[in-house]
Amino acid sequence: MSVTLLAVQTLNGLQLGILLFLIAAGLTLVFGVMDFINLAHGVQYMLGAYLAVACYQLTGSFWLAVTLALIAALICGLLLEFLVFRHLYNRDHLDQVLATFGVILFLNEAVKVLWGAAPLSLPVPELLDGSIQLMANFAYPVFRIALIVTGLAVAVLLYVLVTKTRIGMLVRAGATNPEMVAALGINIRRLFMLVFGFGAMLAGFAGIMAAPILSVEPGMGDNLLILAFVVIVIGGIGSIRGAFLAALIIGLVDTLGRSFATDIARVLLPPAAANDVGPAIASMLIYILMAGVLFFRPSGLFPVRSA
């Protein structure tokens, strides 16, 4: 366990955190602003990845594929909003959970019918294909660094959008008191549709950015959805800032736990037991963290000050 290894693992943790943030940002926006539980956020992430692969197969260019897939993800999101989600805003959370769970099953199956059950992949663009030598015989792919930079850019963009622009002000106002905003002559339905479309696009974007490093397969969003919920619950539902920090914390805790839990367990236990206990603790760590946060701060680290 060297200092370089610790540094590399910290970088890995940050990168996982950024990926989680990209997914959680859209989720927290929709959940916080519209009070709508969208379990289908994970399949929208999957859809983004599949659309990117499909566009890449059509065009042969990564950048063109990203652009087209983003537009397609937005269209899919709006279509889902129009067909399904719009009718659920005034229902209670259980209805929303059931309906969006149905969307998960439907889209996972639809993707399999269209693209087959075998995992697909999206090649890393040539521009970002290199790697940087971080420690003896371990190279850090440039694409992962690009992922970190993109994630930070999205965070800044969202911050500016929500706090500094007129549309952001309307979104915040709509979250606090939709009736009053509607009474002031703002089309609240259209505003919500905009937020939802934007959230879907963020999920799709996360999928596109993940496609070159992870396998593109049916159900790929289901595991990440749970992590994304952990992130927004720890961060405080509806808070972009909270989602950002919570995602980084989760990324770091998970990665460092996975790297060092077994080594630490080995200090205290015989090797065979350490091999059992270490990985078990590592996979529980983030949920223990969530329980702790919820115990001391039931509405998350950065609760949104609203009704």
Which residues in this chain contact other proteins in the complex, by CB under 8 A? 2, 4-5, 8-9, 12-13, 15-16, 19, 112, 116-121, 124, 131, 135-141, 143-144, 212-220, 223-224, 255-256, 258-259, 262, 275, 278-280, 282-283
The answer to whether 242 and 301 are in contact (CB under 8 A) is: yes
For residue 196, the minimal CB distance to other proteins (Å) is 26
Measured from the CB of residue 18, what is the shortest distance to other proteins in angstroms? 12
Residue 153, CA distances (Å) to 115, 142, 190 in order: 32, 17, 26
Q: Of 238 and 251, which has the nearer Cβ to other proteins? A: 251
**How far apart are CB 87 and other proteins at their closest, in Å?**
28
DSSP one-letter code for 139: E
E strands, 37-181, are 131-135, 138-141
- Phi then psi for 183, rounded to 5 degrees? -65, -25
Closer residue to other proteins (CB): 19 or 47: 19
- Give the rounded distance of the alpha carbon of 146 from its chain centre: 17
Given the complex with other proteins, which of 86 and 112 has the nearer CB atom? 112
Distance CA 257, CA 56 (A): 36
Shortest distance, position 27 Cβ to other proteins, whole Å? 17
Which one, 29 or 227, has the nearer CB to other proteins?
Answer: 227
Length of the chain: 307
CB of 164 to other proteins, least distance (A): 33
